[in-house]
Amino acid sequence: MITVFGSINLDLVVAVQHLPKAGQTVSGPEHQSFPGGKGANQALAARRAGAAVRMVGAVGQDAFGPLALTNMREAAVDLSAVRRLPGASGLAFIGIDAQGENQIIVASGANARVDADWLEGCLVKSDTLLLQGEVPFDQTQRAIERARQIGASVFWNPAPVPAENILASLDTVETLVVNESEAQDIATRAGLPGALAAFIDHLATDTRRVVVTLGAKGARAGFAGNRYQAGAPAIDAVDTTGAGDAFCGALAATLDAATPFERALKEGVAAGALACTATGAQSSAPRREDIHRLADQIV
């Protein structure tokens, strides 16, 4: 079972010819709305990749709350630990250009009030606790500590990277996933090696996998003294929103099923690539059979 402790949003998406610069206004023909939030995105991605998934988080008591839960509910993600709090749900405002690149502004809403105490009775030793960076860092720390006490596995994708020093929280993390810019941010602020291979080698241990996603270049990783690389397959990108979440959800689901790490990494890359071929962070999350098929082609 994967227990996700994280954010739940509704995404408002506008397609534009080019993304705005500072002070610039750009227009698109219409907007679309999609359930989102990195926690919910990864929960749905893990469920579609074949895992049993429980979501722990919050939405507001507004009209956006039920909409934000739609895809997870339809996919049979366990939502019994999701709270409806007074006030607004989390919202993300997303612009997507003609090349599929995006800019995102997030209003945290109820996500700013999630509480690690909600994991009580929802997390057991056999679980994987899946975390991101869109809920308060002190609650993420408490969630990691709770997992350590129980003996559950911790999979952390600190995106966006918290302003606080995250290194002290890594001791009990079994899987750390960041993209290239996040790795550089962590390295700069923590005084770690900036070169990608050195960053991975510094943080990877016999018990901790460190993965850096590279977009169209695939992913690189380190674990137990070994280095791994998986190239990305050629795809026609429509929307990169949610590709990283699809990667994390599929990787977490595959590792939770005790799949060897090298194969799990390929399935994560395959899921991330497939997510770029459709619009929306959750609607683009691929199915297990499609992930497996594409992962077979990755070297």
Catalytic residue numbers, as ranges = 245
Residue type, 260: P
Q: Which residues are within 8 A (CB) of 7 and not within 5 positions of it... i.e. 6 or more apart?
A: 37, 38, 39, 40, 57, 90, 108, 111, 114, 132, 134, 135
Residues with Cβ within 8 Å of residue 237, at least 6 apart in sequence? 99, 100, 216, 276, 277
Local structure of residue 180 (DSSP, 8 states): H
- Are 249 and 7 within 8 A, CB to CB? no
- Report the residue count for the chain: 299
Give the integer Cα–Cα distance in Å for 245 and 42: 5
Q: Rounded to an integer, what distance in angstroms lies between the CA atom of residue 141 and that of residue 101?
A: 31
